[in-house]
Structure 1
Amino acid sequence: MDEEEANSPSGNSNSSSFSLLEWVSKLQTKAWETYKSKPISHWILLLLSTLGMLVAFPASSLLSRVYFANGGTSKWIISWVAVAGWPIPALILFPTYLFFKTSPTPLNLYLFLSYVFLGFLSAADNLMYAYAYAYLPASTAALLGSSSLVFSSLFGFFIVKNKLNASMINAIVIITAAMTIIALDSDSDRFPYVTDSQYAWGFVWDILGSALHGLIFALSELVFVKLLGRRSFHVVLEQQVMVSFFAFVFTTIGVVVNNDFQGMVSEAKTFKGGETAYQMVLIWGVITFQLGVLGATAVLFLASTVMAGVLNAVRVPLTSIAAVILLHDPMSGFKILSLIITFWGFASYIYGTSDWNKSS
Protein backbone atom coordinates (compact mmCIF):
# COMPACT_ATOMS: atom_id res chain seq x y z
CA MET A 1 0.00 0.00 0.00
CA ASP A 2 2.82 2.38 0.87
CA GLU A 3 4.51 1.62 -2.44
CA GLU A 4 1.30 2.41 -4.32
CA GLU A 5 0.98 5.76 -2.54
CA ALA A 6 4.55 6.60 -3.39
CA ASN A 7 3.88 5.90 -7.08
CA SER A 8 0.52 7.66 -7.15
CA PRO A 9 0.01 11.18 -8.61
CA SER A 10 -0.65 12.54 -5.12
CA GLY A 11 2.63 11.02 -3.97
CA ASN A 12 4.47 12.78 -6.79
CA SER A 13 2.70 16.02 -5.88
CA ASN A 14 3.79 15.73 -2.27
CA SER A 15 7.33 14.98 -3.41
CA SER A 16 7.34 18.05 -5.67
CA SER A 17 6.00 20.24 -2.87
CA PHE A 18 8.67 18.94 -0.53
CA SER A 19 11.38 19.62 -3.13
CA LEU A 20 10.13 23.15 -3.63
CA LEU A 21 10.00 23.82 0.10
CA GLU A 22 13.48 22.36 0.48
CA TRP A 23 14.79 24.60 -2.31
CA VAL A 24 13.17 27.70 -0.74
CA SER A 25 14.63 26.74 2.66
CA LYS A 26 18.11 26.37 1.17
CA LEU A 27 17.74 29.70 -0.62
CA GLN A 28 16.70 31.44 2.62
CA THR A 29 19.61 29.88 4.49
CA LYS A 30 22.07 30.93 1.83
CA ALA A 31 20.66 34.47 1.71
CA TRP A 32 20.94 34.78 5.49
CA GLU A 33 24.52 33.48 5.48
CA THR A 34 25.43 35.95 2.74
CA TYR A 35 23.83 38.79 4.71
CA LYS A 36 25.68 37.87 7.91
CA SER A 37 29.01 37.60 6.09
CA LYS A 38 29.14 41.37 5.47
CA PRO A 39 28.74 44.35 7.85
CA ILE A 40 25.55 46.40 7.69
CA SER A 41 27.49 49.30 6.13
CA HIS A 42 28.22 47.07 3.11
CA TRP A 43 24.52 46.44 2.49
CA ILE A 44 23.62 50.12 2.95
CA LEU A 45 26.23 51.14 0.37
CA LEU A 46 25.05 48.38 -1.98
CA LEU A 47 21.43 49.53 -1.62
CA LEU A 48 22.36 53.14 -2.41
CA SER A 49 24.47 52.00 -5.35
CA THR A 50 21.59 49.88 -6.65
CA LEU A 51 19.23 52.86 -6.46
CA GLY A 52 21.81 54.88 -8.35
CA MET A 53 21.69 52.37 -11.21
CA LEU A 54 17.93 51.84 -11.23
CA VAL A 55 16.84 55.47 -10.75
CA ALA A 56 19.63 57.82 -11.79
CA PHE A 57 20.68 55.98 -14.95
CA PRO A 58 17.17 55.81 -16.51
CA ALA A 59 16.60 59.45 -15.51
CA SER A 60 19.80 60.58 -17.23
CA SER A 61 18.82 58.66 -20.38
CA LEU A 62 15.38 60.30 -20.46
CA LEU A 63 16.90 63.75 -19.87
CA SER A 64 19.24 63.25 -22.84
CA ARG A 65 16.23 62.49 -25.02
CA VAL A 66 14.31 65.48 -23.58
CA TYR A 67 17.24 67.75 -24.49
CA PHE A 68 17.14 66.74 -28.16
CA ALA A 69 13.34 66.52 -28.38
CA ASN A 70 12.89 70.08 -27.06
CA GLY A 71 15.35 71.86 -29.30
CA GLY A 72 18.84 70.88 -28.16
CA THR A 73 21.18 70.05 -31.02
CA SER A 74 24.73 69.75 -29.68
CA LYS A 75 26.02 66.22 -29.15
CA TRP A 76 29.12 67.66 -27.49
CA ILE A 77 27.07 69.57 -24.90
CA ILE A 78 25.08 66.53 -23.79
CA SER A 79 28.36 64.56 -23.67
CA TRP A 80 29.86 67.33 -21.53
CA VAL A 81 26.84 67.16 -19.21
CA ALA A 82 27.58 63.47 -18.65
CA VAL A 83 30.99 64.25 -17.11
CA ALA A 84 30.59 67.78 -15.75
CA GLY A 85 29.47 66.28 -12.43
CA TRP A 86 32.88 64.78 -11.67
CA PRO A 87 33.18 66.87 -8.43
CA ILE A 88 30.15 64.99 -7.00
CA PRO A 89 32.07 61.79 -6.17
CA ALA A 90 34.97 64.01 -5.04
CA LEU A 91 32.70 65.63 -2.45
CA ILE A 92 31.85 62.15 -1.19
CA LEU A 93 35.46 60.97 -1.33
CA PHE A 94 37.24 63.62 0.72
CA PRO A 95 35.20 63.10 3.92
CA THR A 96 36.20 59.41 3.85
CA TYR A 97 39.83 60.48 4.31
CA LEU A 98 38.85 62.58 7.33
CA PHE A 99 36.26 60.46 9.12
CA PHE A 100 37.22 56.89 8.21
CA LYS A 101 40.97 57.32 8.53
CA THR A 102 41.68 56.14 5.00
CA SER A 103 44.57 57.39 2.91
CA PRO A 104 44.68 58.12 -0.83
CA THR A 105 45.86 55.30 -3.05
CA PRO A 106 49.46 55.94 -4.18
CA LEU A 107 49.34 57.21 -7.76
CA ASN A 108 51.99 55.39 -9.78
CA LEU A 109 52.56 55.74 -13.52
CA TYR A 110 50.49 52.69 -14.52
CA LEU A 111 47.50 53.78 -12.43
CA PHE A 112 47.71 57.35 -13.76
CA LEU A 113 47.82 56.16 -17.37
CA SER A 114 44.90 53.80 -16.75
CA TYR A 115 42.82 56.73 -15.45
CA VAL A 116 43.73 58.84 -18.49
CA PHE A 117 42.94 56.01 -20.92
CA LEU A 118 39.61 55.16 -19.24
CA GLY A 119 38.76 58.87 -19.19
CA PHE A 120 39.36 59.12 -22.93
CA LEU A 121 37.26 56.01 -23.59
CA SER A 122 34.46 57.37 -21.38
CA ALA A 123 34.45 60.67 -23.27
CA ALA A 124 34.21 58.81 -26.59
CA ASP A 125 31.49 56.52 -25.20
CA ASN A 126 29.38 59.45 -24.02
CA LEU A 127 29.65 61.10 -27.44
CA MET A 128 28.51 57.91 -29.18
CA TYR A 129 25.49 57.64 -26.89
CA ALA A 130 24.72 61.32 -27.48
CA TYR A 131 24.40 60.65 -31.21
CA ALA A 132 22.19 57.65 -30.45
CA TYR A 133 19.78 59.63 -28.27
CA ALA A 134 19.70 62.44 -30.83
CA TYR A 135 18.16 60.16 -33.45
CA LEU A 136 16.49 57.27 -31.56
CA PRO A 137 13.57 57.07 -29.10
CA ALA A 138 14.80 56.58 -25.53
CA SER A 139 13.12 53.16 -25.31
CA THR A 140 14.87 51.95 -28.47
CA ALA A 141 18.22 53.36 -27.37
CA ALA A 142 17.87 51.63 -23.99
CA LEU A 143 17.10 48.27 -25.61
CA LEU A 144 20.08 48.57 -27.94
CA GLY A 145 22.21 49.62 -24.97
CA SER A 146 21.46 46.30 -23.30
CA SER A 147 23.92 44.76 -25.76
CA SER A 148 26.66 46.15 -23.51
CA LEU A 149 26.21 42.92 -21.48
CA VAL A 150 27.22 40.93 -24.55
CA PHE A 151 30.35 43.02 -25.04
CA SER A 152 31.24 43.11 -21.34
CA SER A 153 31.02 39.29 -21.29
CA LEU A 154 33.26 38.94 -24.32
CA PHE A 155 35.77 41.54 -23.18
CA GLY A 156 35.68 40.08 -19.67
CA PHE A 157 36.54 36.68 -21.17
CA PHE A 158 39.49 37.98 -23.18
CA ILE A 159 40.82 40.67 -20.82
CA VAL A 160 39.95 39.63 -17.25
CA LYS A 161 39.86 35.89 -18.06
CA ASN A 162 36.27 35.54 -16.83
CA LYS A 163 34.67 32.23 -17.77
CA LEU A 164 32.05 31.73 -20.47
CA ASN A 165 29.68 28.74 -20.39
CA ALA A 166 26.85 27.49 -22.58
CA SER A 167 24.17 29.58 -20.83
CA MET A 168 26.19 32.77 -21.20
CA ILE A 169 26.91 32.09 -24.88
CA ASN A 170 23.19 31.39 -25.33
CA ALA A 171 22.44 34.77 -23.74
CA ILE A 172 24.80 36.50 -26.16
CA VAL A 173 23.02 34.92 -29.14
CA ILE A 174 19.55 35.75 -27.75
CA ILE A 175 20.34 39.41 -27.04
CA THR A 176 21.92 39.76 -30.48
CA ALA A 177 18.69 38.38 -31.98
CA ALA A 178 16.68 40.96 -30.01
CA MET A 179 18.83 43.77 -31.44
CA THR A 180 18.21 42.37 -34.96
CA ILE A 181 14.45 42.51 -34.40
CA ILE A 182 14.68 46.20 -33.54
CA ALA A 183 16.73 46.85 -36.68
CA LEU A 184 14.13 45.09 -38.87
CA ASP A 185 11.31 47.15 -37.28
CA SER A 186 12.94 50.56 -37.70
CA ASP A 187 9.97 52.12 -39.56
CA SER A 188 7.66 51.81 -36.53
CA ASP A 189 9.56 54.04 -34.10
CA ARG A 190 11.49 56.53 -36.21
CA PHE A 191 10.58 60.14 -35.49
CA PRO A 192 9.16 62.05 -38.51
CA TYR A 193 12.00 64.59 -38.44
CA VAL A 194 14.71 61.91 -38.38
CA THR A 195 15.92 60.71 -41.78
CA ASP A 196 16.65 57.10 -42.67
CA SER A 197 20.36 57.86 -42.65
CA GLN A 198 20.22 59.54 -39.22
CA TYR A 199 18.24 56.64 -37.75
CA ALA A 200 20.74 54.14 -39.15
CA TRP A 201 23.66 56.10 -37.72
CA GLY A 202 21.89 56.38 -34.37
CA PHE A 203 21.54 52.60 -34.38
CA VAL A 204 25.22 52.15 -35.27
CA TRP A 205 26.47 54.65 -32.68
CA ASP A 206 24.34 53.01 -29.97
CA ILE A 207 25.83 49.57 -30.71
CA LEU A 208 29.37 50.99 -30.88
CA GLY A 209 28.76 52.86 -27.62
CA SER A 210 27.56 49.64 -26.01
CA ALA A 211 30.67 47.83 -27.23
CA LEU A 212 32.90 50.55 -25.82
CA HIS A 213 30.89 50.52 -22.58
CA GLY A 214 31.54 46.79 -22.29
CA LEU A 215 35.25 47.38 -22.84
CA ILE A 216 35.32 50.09 -20.16
CA PHE A 217 33.49 47.73 -17.80
CA ALA A 218 36.09 44.98 -18.31
CA LEU A 219 39.04 47.38 -18.06
CA SER A 220 37.62 48.90 -14.87
CA GLU A 221 37.40 45.43 -13.33
CA LEU A 222 40.98 44.79 -14.45
CA VAL A 223 42.14 47.98 -12.74
CA PHE A 224 40.37 46.95 -9.54
CA VAL A 225 41.95 43.51 -9.59
CA LYS A 226 45.47 44.28 -10.83
CA LEU A 227 46.20 47.82 -9.63
CA LEU A 228 43.83 48.66 -6.78
CA GLY A 229 43.31 45.28 -5.15
CA ARG A 230 39.65 45.88 -4.17
CA ARG A 231 40.71 47.20 -0.78
CA SER A 232 37.90 49.50 0.33
CA PHE A 233 35.01 51.57 -0.97
CA HIS A 234 37.04 54.78 -1.15
CA VAL A 235 38.96 53.15 -4.02
CA VAL A 236 35.73 53.20 -6.06
CA LEU A 237 35.34 56.91 -5.44
CA GLU A 238 38.96 57.58 -6.35
CA GLN A 239 38.62 55.79 -9.66
CA GLN A 240 35.34 57.53 -10.44
CA VAL A 241 36.76 60.98 -9.66
CA MET A 242 39.88 60.47 -11.74
CA VAL A 243 38.20 58.82 -14.74
CA SER A 244 35.37 61.38 -14.79
CA PHE A 245 37.87 64.24 -14.46
CA PHE A 246 39.91 63.13 -17.47
CA ALA A 247 36.72 62.45 -19.44
CA PHE A 248 35.65 66.00 -18.51
CA VAL A 249 38.96 67.40 -19.78
CA PHE A 250 38.76 65.55 -23.11
CA THR A 251 35.09 66.48 -23.62
CA THR A 252 35.66 70.14 -22.71
CA ILE A 253 38.38 70.32 -25.35
CA GLY A 254 35.88 68.98 -27.90
CA VAL A 255 33.21 71.48 -26.85
CA VAL A 256 35.65 74.41 -27.08
CA VAL A 257 37.00 73.36 -30.49
CA ASN A 258 33.43 72.96 -31.76
CA ASN A 259 32.42 76.40 -30.33
CA ASP A 260 29.40 74.83 -28.60
CA PHE A 261 29.68 76.83 -25.36
CA GLN A 262 28.87 79.99 -27.33
CA GLY A 263 25.88 78.26 -28.88
CA MET A 264 24.34 77.42 -25.50
CA VAL A 265 22.91 80.94 -25.13
CA SER A 266 20.96 80.85 -28.40
CA GLU A 267 20.03 77.21 -27.80
CA ALA A 268 18.50 78.10 -24.42
CA LYS A 269 16.41 80.89 -25.97
CA THR A 270 14.84 78.59 -28.54
CA PHE A 271 14.45 75.63 -26.18
CA LYS A 272 10.87 74.43 -25.67
CA GLY A 273 9.87 75.58 -22.18
CA GLY A 274 12.34 78.45 -22.08
CA GLU A 275 15.76 79.05 -20.59
CA THR A 276 14.79 77.74 -17.14
CA ALA A 277 13.69 74.40 -18.59
CA TYR A 278 16.93 74.25 -20.58
CA GLN A 279 19.03 74.86 -17.48
CA MET A 280 17.11 72.32 -15.39
CA VAL A 281 17.53 69.59 -18.04
CA LEU A 282 21.28 70.15 -18.11
CA ILE A 283 21.70 70.46 -14.32
CA TRP A 284 19.70 67.33 -13.55
CA GLY A 285 21.48 65.58 -16.39
CA VAL A 286 24.80 66.35 -14.68
CA ILE A 287 23.58 65.01 -11.33
CA THR A 288 21.76 61.89 -12.47
CA PHE A 289 24.42 60.71 -14.89
CA GLN A 290 27.20 60.98 -12.33
CA LEU A 291 25.15 59.23 -9.65
CA GLY A 292 24.28 56.45 -12.10
CA VAL A 293 27.90 55.86 -13.10
CA LEU A 294 29.00 56.00 -9.47
CA GLY A 295 26.30 53.47 -8.57
CA ALA A 296 27.36 51.08 -11.36
CA THR A 297 31.03 51.31 -10.39
CA ALA A 298 30.17 50.75 -6.73
CA VAL A 299 28.04 47.69 -7.49
CA LEU A 300 30.93 46.27 -9.52
CA PHE A 301 33.21 46.77 -6.52
CA LEU A 302 30.84 45.81 -3.68
CA ALA A 303 29.23 42.80 -5.39
CA SER A 304 30.37 41.51 -8.76
CA THR A 305 30.16 41.91 -12.51
CA VAL A 306 27.18 39.54 -12.40
CA MET A 307 25.26 41.77 -9.99
CA ALA A 308 25.98 44.82 -12.13
CA GLY A 309 24.74 42.87 -15.17
CA VAL A 310 21.55 41.89 -13.37
CA LEU A 311 20.80 45.50 -12.43
CA ASN A 312 21.62 46.59 -15.94
CA ALA A 313 19.02 44.07 -17.12
CA VAL A 314 16.42 45.54 -14.78
CA ARG A 315 17.05 49.14 -15.82
CA VAL A 316 16.42 48.37 -19.52
CA PRO A 317 12.65 47.78 -19.13
CA LEU A 318 12.49 50.56 -16.53
CA THR A 319 13.92 53.04 -19.03
CA SER A 320 11.76 51.75 -21.88
CA ILE A 321 8.53 51.84 -19.88
CA ALA A 322 9.33 55.28 -18.45
CA ALA A 323 10.05 56.57 -21.98
CA VAL A 324 6.68 55.27 -23.23
CA ILE A 325 4.78 56.81 -20.28
CA LEU A 326 6.64 60.11 -19.89
CA LEU A 327 7.91 60.82 -23.41
CA HIS A 328 5.18 58.95 -25.35
CA ASP A 329 7.71 56.82 -27.20
CA PRO A 330 6.19 54.48 -29.81
CA MET A 331 6.06 50.88 -28.58
CA SER A 332 5.36 48.44 -31.40
CA GLY A 333 4.72 44.74 -31.06
CA PHE A 334 8.20 44.01 -32.40
CA LYS A 335 9.77 46.25 -29.75
CA ILE A 336 7.78 44.47 -27.03
CA LEU A 337 8.96 41.15 -28.46
CA SER A 338 12.53 42.44 -28.43
CA LEU A 339 12.13 43.49 -24.80
CA ILE A 340 10.86 40.02 -23.83
CA ILE A 341 13.68 38.29 -25.72
CA THR A 342 16.23 40.62 -24.12
CA PHE A 343 14.91 39.72 -20.68
CA TRP A 344 15.12 36.05 -21.63
CA GLY A 345 18.73 36.58 -22.65
CA PHE A 346 19.53 38.31 -19.36
CA ALA A 347 17.89 35.44 -17.45
CA SER A 348 20.05 32.95 -19.32
CA TYR A 349 23.15 34.99 -18.54
CA ILE A 350 22.25 35.28 -14.84
CA TYR A 351 21.68 31.52 -14.66
CA GLY A 352 25.00 30.87 -16.37
CA THR A 353 26.86 32.96 -13.79
CA SER A 354 24.88 31.91 -10.70
CA ASP A 355 26.18 29.77 -7.88
CA TRP A 356 23.24 27.36 -8.37
CA ASN A 357 24.39 26.61 -11.90
CA LYS A 358 28.01 26.18 -10.81
CA SER A 359 27.08 23.73 -8.07
CA SER A 360 24.79 21.61 -10.25
Structure 2
Amino acid sequence: MLSITQLALQKIFKKEKLSFDHRMSTYQSISATMILLIGLFASGEWKKLVKEMNEYELWKISYVLNLIGTSICWQFYTVGSVGLIFKVSSLFSNVISILGLPVAPVLAVIFLHDKLSGIKVMSMVLAIWGFVSYMYQHYLDDLKDKAEKRGKLVELSEVNNLIERS
Protein backbone atom coordinates (compact mmCIF):
# COMPACT_ATOMS: atom_id res chain seq x y z
CA MET A 1 0.00 0.00 0.00
CA LEU A 2 2.81 2.41 0.84
CA SER A 3 4.58 1.90 -2.49
CA ILE A 4 1.35 2.33 -4.43
CA THR A 5 0.65 5.51 -2.49
CA GLN A 6 4.10 6.85 -3.36
CA LEU A 7 3.60 5.94 -7.02
CA ALA A 8 0.23 7.70 -7.03
CA LEU A 9 1.69 10.81 -5.40
CA GLN A 10 4.61 11.00 -7.84
CA LYS A 11 3.14 9.87 -11.15
CA ILE A 12 -0.62 10.38 -11.05
CA PHE A 13 -1.43 13.29 -8.73
CA LYS A 14 1.89 15.19 -8.92
CA LYS A 15 0.87 17.30 -5.93
CA GLU A 16 3.40 18.98 -3.70
CA LYS A 17 1.15 20.31 -0.95
CA LEU A 18 0.90 18.74 2.47
CA SER A 19 -2.85 19.35 2.56
CA PHE A 20 -3.13 16.80 -0.24
CA ASP A 21 -1.50 14.31 2.16
CA HIS A 22 -4.45 14.63 4.54
CA ARG A 23 -6.99 14.27 1.77
CA MET A 24 -5.19 11.24 0.36
CA SER A 25 -5.08 9.45 3.73
CA THR A 26 -8.72 10.35 4.39
CA TYR A 27 -9.80 8.91 1.04
CA GLN A 28 -7.83 5.73 1.70
CA SER A 29 -9.43 5.36 5.12
CA ILE A 30 -12.94 6.00 3.82
CA SER A 31 -12.45 3.48 1.02
CA ALA A 32 -11.13 0.86 3.42
CA THR A 33 -14.01 1.50 5.83
CA MET A 34 -16.61 1.09 3.09
CA ILE A 35 -15.05 -2.17 1.88
CA LEU A 36 -14.89 -3.52 5.43
CA LEU A 37 -18.48 -2.54 6.17
CA ILE A 38 -19.67 -4.25 2.99
CA GLY A 39 -17.76 -7.38 4.03
CA LEU A 40 -19.11 -7.17 7.59
CA PHE A 41 -22.73 -7.01 6.47
CA ALA A 42 -22.35 -9.42 3.54
CA SER A 43 -20.87 -12.13 5.77
CA GLY A 44 -23.43 -11.67 8.54
CA GLU A 45 -20.72 -11.01 11.15
CA TRP A 46 -22.51 -7.85 12.26
CA LYS A 47 -24.97 -10.06 14.14
CA LYS A 48 -22.17 -11.23 16.42
CA LEU A 49 -21.05 -7.71 17.38
CA VAL A 50 -23.70 -7.30 20.11
CA LYS A 51 -22.70 -10.63 21.66
CA GLU A 52 -19.03 -9.67 21.49
CA MET A 53 -19.74 -6.33 23.14
CA ASN A 54 -21.76 -7.99 25.92
CA GLU A 55 -18.96 -10.49 26.59
CA TYR A 56 -16.29 -7.78 26.78
CA GLU A 57 -14.82 -7.92 30.28
CA LEU A 58 -14.62 -4.17 30.83
CA TRP A 59 -18.26 -3.27 30.02
CA LYS A 60 -19.94 -2.03 26.87
CA ILE A 61 -18.75 1.57 27.13
CA SER A 62 -15.13 0.41 27.29
CA TYR A 63 -15.70 -1.70 24.20
CA VAL A 64 -17.01 1.27 22.26
CA LEU A 65 -14.26 3.57 23.57
CA ASN A 66 -11.68 0.95 22.60
CA LEU A 67 -13.03 0.88 19.04
CA ILE A 68 -13.13 4.67 18.83
CA GLY A 69 -9.61 5.03 20.24
CA THR A 70 -8.28 2.41 17.86
CA SER A 71 -9.84 4.14 14.86
CA ILE A 72 -8.44 7.54 15.90
CA CYS A 73 -4.95 6.10 16.42
CA TRP A 74 -5.16 4.31 13.08
CA GLN A 75 -6.07 7.59 11.37
CA PHE A 76 -3.03 9.29 12.94
CA TYR A 77 -0.89 6.39 11.72
CA THR A 78 -2.28 6.71 8.18
CA VAL A 79 -1.72 10.46 8.04
CA GLY A 80 1.80 10.00 9.39
CA SER A 81 2.63 7.23 6.92
CA VAL A 82 1.39 9.19 3.94
CA GLY A 83 3.24 12.25 5.26
CA LEU A 84 6.48 10.28 5.43
CA ILE A 85 5.87 9.00 1.90
CA PHE A 86 5.21 12.56 0.78
CA LYS A 87 8.36 13.97 2.40
CA VAL A 88 10.81 11.03 2.18
CA SER A 89 9.81 7.69 0.61
CA SER A 90 7.57 4.67 1.04
CA LEU A 91 10.58 2.60 2.11
CA PHE A 92 11.38 5.00 4.95
CA SER A 93 7.72 5.08 5.98
CA ASN A 94 7.66 1.29 6.12
CA VAL A 95 10.91 1.15 8.11
CA ILE A 96 9.55 3.59 10.69
CA SER A 97 6.32 1.56 10.90
CA ILE A 98 8.26 -1.64 11.45
CA LEU A 99 10.45 0.07 14.06
CA GLY A 100 7.29 0.73 16.09
CA LEU A 101 6.42 -2.97 16.03
CA PRO A 102 8.45 -3.89 19.16
CA VAL A 103 6.89 -1.09 21.19
CA ALA A 104 3.48 -2.74 21.68
CA PRO A 105 4.75 -6.06 23.09
CA VAL A 106 7.18 -4.29 25.42
CA LEU A 107 4.43 -1.98 26.72
CA ALA A 108 2.09 -4.98 27.11
CA VAL A 109 4.72 -6.79 29.19
CA ILE A 110 5.39 -3.73 31.35
CA PHE A 111 1.86 -2.45 31.93
CA LEU A 112 -0.42 -5.43 31.31
CA HIS A 113 1.94 -8.11 32.68
CA ASP A 114 1.67 -10.04 29.42
CA LYS A 115 4.01 -12.97 28.81
CA LEU A 116 6.90 -12.36 26.44
CA SER A 117 6.78 -15.36 24.12
CA GLY A 118 9.40 -16.48 21.65
CA ILE A 119 7.38 -15.20 18.71
CA LYS A 120 7.20 -11.71 20.22
CA VAL A 121 10.92 -11.69 20.90
CA MET A 122 11.64 -12.89 17.36
CA SER A 123 9.41 -10.21 15.83
CA MET A 124 11.12 -7.54 17.93
CA VAL A 125 14.58 -8.74 16.91
CA LEU A 126 13.59 -8.80 13.22
CA ALA A 127 12.07 -5.32 13.42
CA ILE A 128 15.19 -3.89 15.04
CA TRP A 129 17.41 -5.77 12.56
CA GLY A 130 15.43 -4.32 9.64
CA PHE A 131 15.81 -0.78 10.99
CA VAL A 132 19.53 -1.19 11.63
CA SER A 133 19.99 -2.66 8.13
CA TYR A 134 18.17 0.30 6.61
CA MET A 135 20.28 2.81 8.54
CA TYR A 136 23.51 0.96 7.69
CA GLN A 137 22.63 0.97 3.99
CA HIS A 138 22.03 4.73 4.17
CA TYR A 139 25.39 5.13 5.89
CA LEU A 140 27.09 3.18 3.09
CA ASP A 141 25.26 5.18 0.41
CA ASP A 142 26.32 8.41 2.12
CA LEU A 143 29.96 7.29 2.18
CA LYS A 144 29.74 6.41 -1.51
CA ASP A 145 28.24 9.81 -2.38
CA LYS A 146 30.95 11.62 -0.44
CA ALA A 147 33.66 9.58 -2.18
CA GLU A 148 32.14 10.36 -5.60
CA LYS A 149 31.99 14.07 -4.77
CA ARG A 150 35.63 14.02 -3.65
CA GLY A 151 36.53 12.26 -6.89
CA LYS A 152 34.77 14.95 -8.92
CA LEU A 153 36.50 17.67 -6.92
CA VAL A 154 39.85 16.05 -7.64
CA GLU A 155 38.96 15.85 -11.34
CA LEU A 156 37.97 19.52 -11.38
CA SER A 157 41.23 20.55 -9.73
CA GLU A 158 43.15 18.55 -12.34
CA VAL A 159 41.24 20.33 -15.11
CA ASN A 160 42.04 23.69 -13.52
CA ASN A 161 45.73 22.73 -13.32
CA LEU A 162 45.72 21.83 -17.03
CA ILE A 163 44.06 25.14 -17.91
CA GLU A 164 46.60 27.11 -15.86
CA ARG A 165 49.50 25.34 -17.59
CA SER A 166 48.16 26.19 -21.04
1:286 and 2:82 aligned = no
CA 309–353 in structure 1, closer or farther in 2 if over 3 Å, else same: farther
Q: Which has the larger radius of gyration?
A: 2
Superposed CA deviations along residues 26-74 of structure 1, whole A, max 9, x for unmatched, are xxxxxxxxxxxxxxxxxxxxxxxxxxxxxxxxxxxxxxxxxxxxxxxxx
Alpha-carbon separation, structure 2, partners of 1:357 and 1:305: 23
What does 1:192-341 align with in structure 2 at a 5 Å threshold? 216-332=1-117, 335-336=120-121, 339-341=124-126
Runs of 4+ aligned structure 1 residues displaced above 6 Å come to none
Q: CA deviation at 1:229?
A: 1.5
Secondary structure, counterpart of 1:316 in structure 2: coil
Shift of 1:335: 4.7
Q: Give the aligned partner of residue 356 of structure 1.
A: 142
* Alpha-carbon distance, 1:353 to partner: 3.5
CA deviation after TM superposition for structure 1 residue 269, in Å: 1.6
Tell me which protein shows more helix as a share of its residues: 2
Which has the higher relative contact order, 1 or 2, with Cα contacts under 8 A spaced 6 or more apart? 1
Name stretches of at least 5 consecutive residues in structure 2 with no aligned partner.
Answer: 148-166
TM-score normalized with structure 2 length: 0.74
Supply the RMSD in Å over aligned alpha carbons. Answer: 2.3
Aligned residues: 145
Tell me how far 1:358 sits from its aligned partner: 3.9
**What's the secondary structure of 2:76's corresponding residue?**
helix
Deviation at 1:292, TM superposition (A): 1.0
- The C-alpha deviation readout for 1:138-171, integer Å capped at 9, x for no partner, is xxxxxxxxxxxxxxxxxxxxxxxxxxxxxxxxxx
Percent identity of equivalent pairs? 25
Distance 1:266 1:312 in 2: 33
Unmatched 5+ stretches in structure 1? 1-215
Q: After TM superposition, give the deviation of residue 303 of structure 1 in Å.
A: 2.6
Secondary structure of 1:339's partner?
helix
Aligned residue for 2:16, secondary structure, equals: coil
